[in-house]
Chain A
Amino acid sequence: MLTFTLKTGVSCPLELAGITPEALADQPIAQILRTEIYLGREKQAVADFFEISGDLEDGKLQFVGDLSTAVGLGAKMNSGKIRVEGNAGREVGSAMQGGEIEIVGHAGDGVGLEMQGGTIHVTGSAGNSVGGARAGSTRGMTGGTIIVMGDAGHDVGTRMRRGLIAIRGNAGHCVGRDMLAGTIVIGGECGASLGLGMKRGTLCLSGNKTMQLLPTFRYACTSHAPVLGMVGRQLQTLGYENDLWNANRQWHQYNGDFLATGRGEVFLAS
């Protein structure tokens, strides 16, 4: 494992897009230390911020330190693993295509923004637009899995096209807004306007029985919802303890948003 240890506090935005296992593979340490990254508008060497130890033979990269002001950590990564021991700023894993990111701390806005594949695991909380889309963009996340063990902000999975998002804690308003497909599981409470404009896709509020849905959602049935069992088992393998797979659980299913196609599903715990 190649470890980047932050040796100084960083207050300006530190652009870390491009520092990925595949980009650094086969590079000697001296060359990695000379790699230029942007601090605000200034280019500086990696050596100005980080001490580096270990190697990349196993394809694993680790950051240690508070990277709250980092931008684009693991963006566009394809393979390998990035682990962060500390907080990890904005747009973690944006547009990533494969590999794994683990944040042992909190993440900022835009975790997995427009990601296409791979897995992101955040042990703390995440900001707004988890798996969402950039302003004006037609697609959010199109593949992959995001797991947030803490809370998440607003607009989880906006315009999501495919993939799985699981938030163990609470989420803000407009979860699954305009989503086209994919699955979102929220373990705690969630804010208003759930599924506004959703065309297809599945929203599951595993711990919520009293959610007030928009008037353009309709009650369909109460069932065991076998599909949630499959989702639950998959989440279980990814370290998200849950009881979605429990065959005795009953779910109230609603369909909507009828202002779009009405083919989205919302499951509320019974």
Chain B
Amino acid sequence: MTTTIDNVTCAACGLVCEEITLRIDKQQIVEVKNACPLCTARLKGRSLDEGPQAKVDGHDVSQSVAIERAAEFLAEAKSPLLYGLSGSTVETQRAAVALADHLGATIDPAIPAFHRDAIVALQSVGISTCTLGEIKQRADVVVLWGADPERTHPELSKRFLAPTGRFFAGNRRIISINSTFEQKDDLTFNIGHENVLAAIVTIRAIVAGIEIEPKTIAGIDVEKLKQLTSWLQEVNYSAVLFGPGIGGQAEIKSLFLLVRQLNNRSRSVAVGLGGTQIENVLAWQTGYPCGVNFALGYPRYDPYAYSANAVLEQGEADAVVILGSESLECLSPAVRERLKTLPSILLDDTGQSPSFAPTVQITTTTPGVHSGGTIFRMDGVPLKLRAICDSGLPTAASILSAIQQGVGSSCV
């Protein structure tokens, strides 16, 4: 019998769309409607009745045996690392932080480099930001900077940029800087990666009324930058949506300062086009959003030295827990190679074999399909996910709690 489920929430990207319709036949998702390619790839064909699956050293075992083995080598580890949490729920993040605290481990969420730099820049100079709904209803100029929304956030344009806002008249002007968004020539800027900072600094200088002597800055016509600046200044509400192409910490920090300057005249905001916010629980429980180390019994923070990439590159971890195979995308190829030499636990919802051979692999529920929970959209709006079936799979949170119990008091 075929059933249809409406208004399903999707956690495939940072937009967390809520109007997906699923058609289910024989405990399998056979059709995904109102969905982008990312959502379709994530949900179509998924079985809803998968049953528990666990492996130790590649061999199928019972879940309890896998948990026991995981707890065993985590208890022996001197410097374990918990990494990942891509697309995870608040409940899973809470269990992961508890386990990291219990183990005296390093915990680091799988966030792309520009997201990490944005966090550090935010701590340094703050950010003027808003929700996507506010951009949709109020922003009369939107700048896409270093973004590829068609690939990373396919529904962004349809849901938030194309509709007319309630609080402004006329068309929204969309400016594309180093982005793949198709736009007229005069609204498109291509700035060499090494010149982005000089461009932002020049725009800031123009806004501040500081005279710029050269006619071109790093190959960009200053007159063109003045035109861009006037578009940003002469509106009531401008929004900058930035992606990984914007650059590093210096560029992002300068962008936040530019947005702050623009607020002297009219409202302006910056929003990062990242994934769902997976650092929130870590931030509210430890005070730090990423790169947190519990080795001395209290949280210590270093967004770069305690990042999973740095810890694994330096060979400082002797056991790794990876939460979600999507998280591996944020690791460098050399670090992914290194995973092959370490005892590791992979909690993943796809059930597929990763590029390395984890010591323990347990298949967990997919949030929003097999289990519910709360996730934070990329702009910080919390949204509920609901379970559309009972698959018999364990949640990642329950496995992490069971591992914590298994480790017991041996490492306190």
Contact = CB atoms under 8 A, between A and B. Distances in A.
Given A216-B210, A259-B201, A12 B250 contact: no
B201 A12 contact: no
A90 B310 CA distance: 12
A246 interface: no
A196 B314 contact: no
B120 A135 contact: yes
Contacts of B79: 12-13, 39-41
B213 to A, nearest CB: 7
Interface string B77-102: 11110000000000000000000000
Contact of B302 (A12, A15, A135, A196): A135
A12 B217 CA distance: 47
Contact of A215 (B208, B212, B304): B212
Contacts of B78: 12, 39-42
B198 interface: yes
Given A69-B314, A192-B197, A196-B197, A259 B303 contact: no
Nearest to A13: B316
A11 B213 CA distance: 53
Contacts of B208: 259
A183 B315 CA distance: 35
Contacts of A15: 295-296
B103 interface: yes
A215 B205 CA distance: 9
B320 interface: no
B170 interface: no
A11 B103 contact: no
A5 interface: no
B205 A41 contact: no
A109 B305 contact: yes
B123 interface: yes
Interface string B4-44: 00000000000000000000000000000000000000000
B294 interface: yes
B185 interface: no
Point out which of B208, B212, B217, B250 has the most chain A C-beta atoms below 10 A from its C-beta.
B250
B72 interface: no
A11 B257 CA distance: 41
A258 interface: yes
A11 B120 contact: no
Nearest to A174: B250
B213 A38 contact: no
Contact of B214 (A135, A192, A215): A215
A192 B210 CA distance: 21
A40 B104 contact: yes
Point out which of A42, A174, A177, A259 has the most chain B C-beta atoms below 10 A from its C-beta.
A259
Contacts of A192: 194, 197
Interface string A86-116: 0000100000000000000000011000000
B352 interface: no
A39 B78 CA distance: 7
A interface, over-half SS: loop
B105 A41 contact: yes
A258 B77 CA distance: 51
A214 interface: yes
B236 interface: no
A42 B104 CA distance: 9
A114 to B, nearest CB: 13
B368 to A, nearest CB: 33
Point out which of B77, B104, B194, B314 has the most chain A C-beta atoms below 10 A from its C-beta.
B314
Interface string B292-315: 001110000111110000000011
A216 B205 CA distance: 7
Interface in A27-49: 38-42
Given A12-B318, A13-B79, A215-B198, A196 B254 contact: yes
A159 to B, nearest CB: 9
Contacts of B205: 215-216, 258-259
A209 interface: no
A196 B294 CA distance: 34
B247 to A, nearest CB: 10
A193 B123 contact: no
Nearest to A262: B210
A153 B304 CA distance: 13
Nearest to B411: A41
Interface in B107-127: 120, 123-124
Nearest to A109: B305
A27 B132 CA distance: 62
A7 to B, nearest CB: 18
B329 to A, nearest CB: 24
By Cβ-Cβ distance, the 8 closest A-B pairs, closest first, are A41-B104, A40-B79, A40-B78, A136-B123, A12-B79, A41-B295, A12-B78, A135-B120
Interface of A: 11-13, 15, 38-42, 68-69, 90, 109-110, 128, 134-136, 173-174, 177, 192-193, 196, 212, 214-216, 218, 258-259
17 contacts: A38-B296, A40-B78, A40-B79, A41-B105, A41-B295, A68-B314, A69-B314, A90-B305, A134-B301, A135-B120, A135-B302, A136-B120, A177-B250, A193-B250, A212-B218, A258-B210, A259-B201
Given A135-B304, A218-B213, 15 more contacts: A11-B315, A11-B316, A12-B79, A40-B77, A41-B80, A41-B294, A41-B295, A135-B123, A135-B124, A135-B301, A135-B303, A196-B254, A214-B198, A215-B213, A259-B201
